[in-house]
């Protein structure tokens, strides 16, 4: 049997950049510490929210190095290492292990559109080459392939795969995995708006975009669900709803970075092909933050 080691709110960290496009290392260190102070249960650098596909290999390594240093063993560090090239995914996985990540996050390969049996082969090849436990990541809206519940369950039977981040948008698919998973296999929402529903069905938490902006609220929601206080969870979910909506008015992480910039936590800089939040959205996003009682710069 697997031991359940992951639960609660994991923040899918944004990657701060300076105006010249280089990594903003002080802002990243500050962001990680702020997340830890808010009580997040895990941090996830270099995923979709971290603009990992726009980072060089050296930058990817540095982001995870800094995160590991700042965490200093206090919570799991689940490092993004996914690629649509299996050999590149293996090389990145080994690099993440060497610099101290505790887990790996591996997304289904994008663009190639592999069939289900190829997904199994891809993930098993990575597990064969690296010793870290793996969280699978299903996000068909970005990759053009849905990892079906049956495929996730085949992998879940292998103790090297310890969890899935499910961003299929299908609660039915998520609950099927929850019902049929082996003991110790975690099921996490990859969509902030599904956190309450997934945890009410017995899921384990959220890998969150929104907790970049309001970490304490998202931690409180997960904690309320974890202790079975669903009245409090519904209250927190309602409080979070406007922030969740605002975080996705444009492609993630565009709105989240705009919000964090308004809060004075980083510069509103993204890597092309992403661009800063459109001006038409800014008054609405700022108003949401003000209504949530968040101090703005």
Q: Are the CB atoms for 109 and 136 separated by under 8 Å?
A: no
Longest Cα–Cα distance in the chain? 52
Q: Please confirm, yes or no, whether 257 is among the known catalytic residues.
A: no
Catalytic annotation, pick one of 2, 111, 113, 137: 137
* Nearest to 146, CA basis, from 174, 126, 121, 127: 174
Cβ contacts of 200 within 8 Å, gap of 6 or more = 225, 230, 233
Q: Is 165 a catalytic residue?
A: yes
Rounded Cα–Cα distance for residues 285 and 277 (Å): 10
Residue 119: Cβ within 10 Å count: 22
How far, in Å, CA of 93 to CA of 105, rounded? 9
Give the residue from 256, 253, 265, 268 showing the smallest Cα distance to 26: 265
Q: What is the residue whose two structure tokens read 């800063």?
A: 276
| Closest listed residue to residue 98, CA positions, set 57, 126, 61 | 61
Work out the burial of residue 259: count CB atoms within 10 Å of its CB; fewer than 13 is exposed, 13-18 middle, 19 or more buried.
buried
- Among candidate residues 111, 113, 165, 257, the one labeled active-site is 165
Residue 30 tokens read as 């500050």
Strands (DSSP E) contained in 124-262 are 134-138, 161-166, 186-189, 205-208
Question: Which of 239, 254, 241, 247 lies closest to 213 in space, CA to CA?
Answer: 247
Q: List active site positions.
A: 137, 165
């Amino acid at each position: 049997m697997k031991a359940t080691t992951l639960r609660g709110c994991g923040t899918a960290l944004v990657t701060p950049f300076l105006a010249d496009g280089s990594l903003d290392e002080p802002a990243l260190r500050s962001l990680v510490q702020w997340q830890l102070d808010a009580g997040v249960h895990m941090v996830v650098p270099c995923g979709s929210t971290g603009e990992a596909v726009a980072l060089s290999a050296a930058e990817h390594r540095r982001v995870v190095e800094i995160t590991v240093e700042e965490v200093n063993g206090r919570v799991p560090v689940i490092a993004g290492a996914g690629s649509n090239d299996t050999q590149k995914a293996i090389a990145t996985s080994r690099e993440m292990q060497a610099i101290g990540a505790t887990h790996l996050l591996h997304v289904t390969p994008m663009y190639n559109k592999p069939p289900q049996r190829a997904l199994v082969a891809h993930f098993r090849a990575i597990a064969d080459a690296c010793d870290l436990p793996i969280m699978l990541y299903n996000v068909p809206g970005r990759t053009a392939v849905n990892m079906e519940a049956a495929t996730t369950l085949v992998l879940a039977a292998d103790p090297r795969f310890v969890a899935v981040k499910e961003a299929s948008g299908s609660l039915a698919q998520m609950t099927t995995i929850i019902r049929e998973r082996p003991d110790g296999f975690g099921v996490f929402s990859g969509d902030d708006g599904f956190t309450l529903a997934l945890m009410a069905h017995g899921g384990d938490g959220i890998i969150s975009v929104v907790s970049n902006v309001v970490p304490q609220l998202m931690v409180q929601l997960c904690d309320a669900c974890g202790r079975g206080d669903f009245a409090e969870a519904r209250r927190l979910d309602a409080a979070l709803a406007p922030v969740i909506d605002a975080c996705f008015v444009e492609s993630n992480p565009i709105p989240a970075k705009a919000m964090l910039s308004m809060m004075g936590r980083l510069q509103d800089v993204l890597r092309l092909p992403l661009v800063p939040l459109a001006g038409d959205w800014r008054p609405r996003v700022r108003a949401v933050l003000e209504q949530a009682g968040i101090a703005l710069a």
